[in-house]
Amino acid sequence: MAADVLLRALADDEPALLEHAREVAALAASTALALGLDRRAREIVARAAELHDIGKMAVPPEILAKPGPLAAPEVEVMRSHTLMGEAMIGAAPTLRPVAVLVRASHERWDGHGYPDGLRGEAIPVGARIVAVCDAFSAMCEERPYGQVLSEPEAVAELRRCAGTQFDPRVVRAFCRARGVTAVAV
């Protein structure tokens, strides 16, 4: 119920983010299934994927839509969206497990992510799934910055970043879920 209210607000504020959120949720659900997560864990992961960008409602539109690199202060504002999302989602007690994943959705396997610099298995598996699915979706979408990649190019990029940015096991599960021929990751 609370999640639906947040999604309606996101749809009103940023319709493109809602479309992206739904795509990431579908990818995350299939990846979680390929990893063998139980039904409840898959539901939490899918909900976190759906709400992972909700904190961007607090980011000024001129930063969200800026074509090109952000200045250092703008980067800090953009990075705060995971904390804002956690606060918004965590206000509903039933969504606290989702809020934890949203907060950690930009952590990196190598520890160079944000907001907490978590590394490897210290990052909740659901957040690792959201990170892979979010990156894939973003690479394949029209954005004010960067070029659109084809699905094979985006998969190649996920594989290239497995072990640094992404959990290699999650990348393999993502590829299985997408029916992509196995290549060592």
**pTM of the complete model:** 0.90
Predicted pLDDT of residue 6: 66
Strand partners, 166: 162
Distance CA 173, CA 148 (A): 23
Nearest to 20, CA basis, from 70, 74, 64: 64
Nearest to 48, CA basis, from 120, 97, 119: 97
Predicted pLDDT of residue 65: 82
Fold of domain 2-178: Hypothetical protein af1432 (1.10.3210)
Distance CA 86, CA 64 (A): 19
Q: What is the pLDDT along the chain (185 residues), one digit of tens a residue?
A: 566 666 676 666 666 667 888 899 999 999 999 999 999 999 999 999 999 999 988 899 899 888 888 999 999 999 999 999 999 999 999 999 999 999 999 999 999 999 999 999 999 999 999 999 999 999 998 766 668 899 999 999 999 999 999 999 999 999 999 988 655 55
Please report the DSSP string for 63-83 in residue order. Answer: HHT-SSPPPHHHHHHHHTHHH
Nearest to 50, CA basis, from 78, 81, 29: 29
Distance CA 70, CA 167 (A): 27
Predicted pLDDT of residue 43: 97
